[in-house]
Amino acid sequence: MKKLCILCLLVFCLSFSALLTVPGIAAGQGGTLPKVLNLATMPPGMIVNAQAVGIADMVSRYTPISVKVVPATNEMVWVPMTKTKEIDLGVAGAVVRNPSQAREAFARAMEQSDIGIIIITERIADLIRPQVDQFIFTRNFPLIVEIPDRQGPLAGKPGIREMVNQAIGIKL
């Protein structure tokens, strides 16, 4: 449980500012999917980078899209790159140690208009359940996805593999 408090919250903010400029995709106009997506993330050695590499591998393996991970120093480096189309989307993260920090990180993420998806661990979401539920039940965007942490899913909740299987319809 001690380590859970140290690395518990992994809030991934996928910046869709560049992806939204791909004609027809975000607007639901039947546009074609890109062949390559450049995914910005933190430098190698950081957990956010490792997870981005995993996301890129899964997307590249199971979809027609090739995802290339582009390490950057921080969001201040890659966010401007979305405007020049060097980066299509990005992954950022926050680590919290207590409910107060979780509320602050969640509030910061909610204030940013370029965030498309927030992935939060189930245990951290439970620490700030009123805020998470209020958002889920009152707003449509960004999408909030709760996932198990490294200790596994909470009782009665599906594991990551089950959720991916359901989402993409392919058994992993």
Identify the pLDDT of residue 43.
85
- The per-residue pLDDT for range 131-143, each reduced to its tens digit, is 999 988 888 778 8
Q: Is residue 21 over pLDDT 70? A: no
pLDDT band per the 50, 70, 90 thresholds, residue 5:
very low
3-state secondary structure 91-151: CCCCCCCCHHHHHHHHHHHHHCCCEEEEEEEHHHHHHCHHHHHHHHHHCCCCEEEEECECC
Identify the pLDDT of residue 55.
81
Strands 66-71, 36-41: pairing is parallel
- The per-residue pLDDT for range 78-132, each reduced to its tens digit, is 878 888 888 888 877 778 889 999 999 898 888 877 777 788 888 899 999 999 9
